[in-house]
Amino acid sequence: MTADDRALPELDPVIHAQARLRVVATLNVLAEGDEMAFNSLKDLLGMTAGNLSVHLTKLEEAGYVAINKTHRGRTPVTFARLTKRGRLAFEDYTAAIRTLLDNAGGS
């Protein structure tokens, strides 16, 4: 490992998992404070309910996603939104990816 290798940024392991990256990227498109229904997110990403639930839990534990469970009439509905911390983490992640890509051709 050279000194240049050590200068490259680390990628956030919470976001770096492909499914979680897709979730965060999707929620990041929403305006700050807006949320998306769990079923809409599940369908949009083509994920199973169980798989999405596991990844949302991991993101929620990191403080990147907020979950809001409510009812529409008698039907329970779960919403997810990206927190400010999640938006900043995604910005940092995308900046780190850009840095890695910009330095990829320099070896």
The pLDDT score that the predictor gives to residue 81 is: 98
- What is the rounded distance in angstroms from the CA atom of residue 63 to the CA atom of residue 45? 21
Task: Using DSSP bridges, classify how beta strands 75-82 and 36-37 pair: parallel, antiparallel or unpaired.
Answer: antiparallel
If phi > 0 it is left, if psi is from -120 to 50 it is alpha, else beta; for residue 46 that is left
Is the pTM higher than 0.75?
Answer: yes
Tokens of 60: 């929620």
What is the assigned CATH class of domain 16-94? mainly alpha
The pLDDT score that the predictor gives to residue 21 is: 98
The pLDDT confidence band at residue 3, using thresholds 50, 70 and 90, is: very low
Helix 49-61 × helix 38-45 angle, to 10° = 110
The pLDDT score that the predictor gives to residue 1 is: 43
